[in-house]
Chain A
Amino acid sequence: MRSDFERILKVNQQKEVRSPLNSRRPIPIPAFLAGIMIKLFKVKEKQRELAENANGKPPVKKQSAGELRLHKDISELNLPKTCTISFPNGKDDLMNFEVTIRPDEGYYLGGAFIFSFQISTMYPHEAPKVKCKTKVYHPNIDLEGNVCLNILREDWKPVLNINTIIYGLYHLFTEPNHEDPLNPDAAAVLRDNPKMFESNVRRAMAGGYVGQSFFNRCI
């Protein structure tokens, strides 16, 4: 279970937590309410007993703060021409969507790569789960579709957003990076023999084998 001791200590030191309004008032607002709370409960409970069979409220869908933030992120998307987004479950499910990246330069020019995004209700405190659905020969994406992008894991912060992630993914295609390998074979080829890496990428994108792995055509 998480408690947040160090943070609170830090905040205390900053001395910003006391509202200027409340700092001189000895009785906080909830205490004022406390005296009447028991009366409120009593009245409510009596009325509830009376209204036992009155119409109950139909259950209504609650929108979490995370969903609202996601709504904001999506409505402010500003994607490059190389990236498109689609919502397989329709306009009201923003928690699951797909992004297609069609790089316009570099090794992966001409290919189309689909990423699935799964957003949890704890967004933006939790990073989206992103997987590459297109099997790709890439140093930073493994054959299961796991992606090594720092902002998806260790460097995720709530101030980042969906737009940042999509740009980050796009960047992986223009600048594949052999230093953070998730596909070590591809990373070694990129480092030692860029020409061969280029031809391997071409072969994979056209549909064919690179080493033991078969790649579907994605051009």
Chain B
Amino acid sequence: MATAPPSRSRDLDKLLLRPGHLVVPNFEPGPELRDDIKEYVKVLVVGAGGLGCELLKDLALSGFQNLDVIDMDRIEVTNLNRQFLFRLEDVGKPKAEVAAKRVMERVSGVNITSHFCRIEDKPLDFYSDFSIIVLGLDSIEARSYINAIACGFLEYDSDDNPREETVKPMVDGGTEGFKGHARIIVPGMTPCFECTIWLFPPQVKFPLCTLAETPRTAAHCIEYAHLIKWDEVHSGKTFDPDNPEHMQWVYSEALKRAELFGIQGVTYSLTQGVVKNIIPAIASTNAIISAACALETLKMVSGCSRTLSNYLTYNGVEGLHTKVTEFVRDKDCLVCGPGVLIELDTSITLRKFIDLLEGHPGLLLSRVSVTHRGKNLYMQAPPVLEEMTRSNLDLPLFDLMDKVPKDIVHVNGMAGKGDKKQSCLRKLRVVFKGIDVVAVEDMVLGASF
């Protein structure tokens, strides 16, 4: 009897086709689960760099067949040591496109759509299409942006419980030399990126007068050339860190300054490192962190095991140390928190709305300023803005909010009574009565359980 050819999903099948002690309560093993993951789950990988290459490979080999990858960068020769999907002849080509092509060549059945653009260029609809978003990014800004998008889909019911069908989970990886982290973010259930943004250490910045007068290190000389000398010589022209001529200029100026002060150690690569804040990347750290992220993605989607809860740190600097920390949500988080539900008549004016907040038992807000989707509806101060927004006070809030049946409004002011007043910033879920919210929701979400 001829033996059947070994299935590529043999190892995966052990996780998805059988029950076990580690599975979550609603786990339903079987071929249907495996096929559903292939057919219905769409994963977006953000970033096609060190982590992104690993993630695409790991996810493709973990049975995900619908992948998208977005990255705005082109391949550089210095990427080749660790971004293993790229070859010398790919230098200059978009990372997302080459990475997608290479993985599809090697893993049959997988379909990867690449997007060579900035994450900000995509509309919200683009992000809402994905079941789960996996991040392989190198900046706080980009993480914060994607986090805000994903949390923006989250809706709460009238009891402030997240509506499951609006939850857009994320898995975030990050590495820095020998250190790294992998975390899961389930908006409304685990802390979001903004809840724990205080984790990031502040960037080290040198005093300008030290740079100008008393440089002591090579980095001081480089920052002098970058921050002070550049403006002095190129009045008005902005420095572009991705322009090699600009970088070369900063390097040669830094070198002159280092000679003047008898400082050693200014090199071209250090110049790049200081100006662009580059930390050397290590291929194995990327592999470890990506593997953790891909596995968490599979666990979260399938339920074949409990996910980590909720933040894994890995440190390979001295020996090896790894640990999972369970961070807690910031219940007042402006990005993922429910906010305070306020129901209003469409006729209510902005002035009446502001009065209402003062009397609201959960808010007790005085000296209120109101902002809605980047439009400042009323500003208590400074006088110049108060004057510009005063005329809004007598308009209906419904009209000021472009007649949407419900939306998020942010207010700030002084909360509390008497001497215990405290300045605060709050998120409100404003719902207008008498507007058919249900019909609108069905149209937008198309999901009712």
Binding site for B on A (CB under 8 A): 1-9, 11-12, 17-19, 22, 27-38, 40-48, 50-51, 54-57, 59-65, 67-69, 71-72, 74-79, 84-87, 90-92, 94, 121-122, 125-127, 140, 142-144, 146-148, 150, 153-154, 156-158, 180-182, 184
Question: Does B301 count as interface, using CB distance less than 8 angstroms?
Answer: yes
Question: Does B415 count as interface, using CB distance less than 8 angstroms?
Answer: no
Q: Judging by beta carbons under 8 Å apart, are B328 and A17 in contact? A: yes
Q: Label chain A's interface by main secondary structure.
A: loop
Q: Judging by beta carbons under 8 Å apart, are A87 and B202 in contact? A: no
Q: Judging by beta carbons under 8 Å apart, are B199 and A65 in contact? A: no
Task: Return B363 CB to nearest CB of chain A, in Å.
Answer: 15
Q: How far is the CA of A79 from the CA of B383 in the complex (A)?
A: 10
Task: Return A135 CB to nearest CB of chain B, in Å.
Answer: 12
| A4-B200, A57-B444 as given contacts; A31 in contact with B328, CB under 8 Å | no
Question: Does B310 count as interface, using CB distance less than 8 angstroms?
Answer: yes
Against A, the Cβ 8 Å flags (1 = close, 0 = not) of B141-185 are 100110011001000000000001101010000111001110010
Determine the residue in chain B with the shortest Cβ distance to A11. B325
Question: Does B239 count as interface, using CB distance less than 8 angstroms?
Answer: no
| Most chain A CB neighbours (cut-off 10 Å) among B123, B382, B425 | B382
Which A residues lie within 8 Å of B374 (CB)?
A: 61, 63, 67, 92
Contact of B412 (CB < 8 Å), options: A27, A76, A86, A121 = A76
| A17-B326, A72-B425, A75-B379 as given contacts; A30 in contact with B303, CB under 8 Å | no
Q: How far is the CA of A8 from the CA of B303 in the complex (A)?
A: 28
20 CB-based A-B contacts, threshold 8 Å? A17-B328, A22-B326, A29-B186, A34-B24, A34-B299, A37-B300, A38-B36, A41-B301, A56-B125, A57-B124, A65-B194, A69-B425, A74-B379, A90-B388, A125-B140, A127-B205, A154-B207, A181-B209, A181-B212, A182-B212
| Most chain B CB neighbours (cut-off 10 Å) among A43, A54, A71, A84 | A71
Task: Return B27 CB to nearest CB of chain A, in Å.
Answer: 5
Contact of B371 (CB < 8 Å), options: A71, A143, A146, A150 = A71
Enumerate B364-403 residues with CB–CB distance to A below 8 Å: 369, 371, 373-376, 379-382, 384-385, 388-389
Q: How far is the CA of A203 from the CA of B417 in the complex (A)?
A: 53
Q: Judging by beta carbons under 8 Å apart, are B169 and A37 in contact? A: yes
Task: Return A25 CB to nearest CB of chain B, in Å.
Answer: 10
Q: Judging by beta carbons under 8 Å apart, are B207 and A153 in contact? A: yes
Determine the residue in chain B with the shortest Cβ distance to A51. B446
Which B residues lie within 8 Å of A76 (CB)?
A: 380-381, 412, 423
| A28-B309, A45-B131 as given contacts; A74 in contact with B447, CB under 8 Å | no
Question: Does B116 count as interface, using CB distance less than 8 angstroms?
Answer: no
Question: Does B104 count as interface, using CB distance less than 8 angstroms?
Answer: no
Which B residues lie within 8 Å of A51 (CB)?
A: 446
Against A, the Cβ 8 Å flags (1 = close, 0 = not) of B102-144 are 0000000000000000000001110011010000011111001
Q: Judging by beta carbons under 8 Å apart, are A30 and B190 in contact? A: yes
Q: How far is the CA of A30 from the CA of B303 in the complex (A)?
A: 10
Q: Which 5 A-B pairs have the closest CB atoms?
A: A35-B26, A28-B309, A75-B369, A180-B209, A35-B303
Q: Judging by beta carbons under 8 Å apart, are A36 and B379 in contact? A: no
Which A residues lie within 8 Å of B327 (CB)?
A: 17
Q: Judging by beta carbons under 8 Å apart, are A62 and B149 in contact? A: yes
Q: Judging by beta carbons under 8 Å apart, are A41 and B385 in contact? A: no
Q: Judging by beta carbons under 8 Å apart, are B309 and A91 in contact? A: no
Determine the residue in chain B with the shortest Cβ distance to A34. B303
Other A-B pairs, 9, CB within 8 Å; known A33-B164, A91-B389: A2-B174, A3-B175, A3-B180, A44-B131, A62-B148, A79-B382, A142-B212, A146-B208, A146-B228
Q: Judging by beta carbons under 8 Å apart, are B303 and A150 in contact? A: no
Against A, the Cβ 8 Å flags (1 = close, 0 = not) of B205-228 are 111110011000000000000011
Q: How far is the CA of A18 from the CA of B137 in the complex (A)?
A: 27
Q: Judging by beta carbons under 8 Å apart, are B176 and A2 in contact? A: yes
Q: Judging by beta carbons under 8 Å apart, are A85 and B384 in contact? A: yes
Which B residues lie within 8 Å of A74 (CB)?
A: 379, 381-382, 385
| Most chain B CB neighbours (cut-off 10 Å) among A1, A84, A94 | A1
Task: Return A177 CB to nearest CB of chain B, in Å.
Answer: 9
Q: Judging by beta carbons under 8 Å apart, are B203 and A121 in contact? A: no
Task: Return A36 CB to nearest CB of chain B, in Å.
Answer: 5
Q: Judging by beta carbons under 8 Å apart, are A78 and B197 in contact? A: no
Task: Return A137 CB to nearest CB of chain B, in Å.
Answer: 16
| A37-B303, A64-B148, A65-B334 as given contacts; A72 in contact with B209, CB under 8 Å | no
Q: How far is the CA of A65 from the CA of B39 in the complex (A)?
A: 36
Q: How far is the CA of A92 from the CA of B379 in the complex (A)?
A: 10
Determine the residue in chain B with the shortest Cβ distance to A4. B199
Q: Judging by beta carbons under 8 Å apart, are A77 and B382 in contact? A: yes
Q: Judging by beta carbons under 8 Å apart, are A30 and B186 in contact? A: yes
Contact of B209 (CB < 8 Å), options: A7, A29, A140 = A140
Q: Judging by beta carbons under 8 Å apart, are B180 and A37 in contact? A: no
Which B residues lie within 8 Å of A41 (CB)?
A: 36, 40-42, 131, 301
Task: Return A91 CB to nearest CB of chain B, in Å.
Answer: 4
Question: Does B307 count as interface, using CB distance less than 8 angstroms?
Answer: yes
Task: Return B31 CB to nearest CB of chain A, in Å.
Answer: 13
Question: Does B279 count as interface, using CB distance less than 8 angstroms?
Answer: yes
Contact of B373 (CB < 8 Å), options: A5, A43, A63, A143 = A63
Task: Return A120 CB to nearest CB of chain B, in Å.
Answer: 8
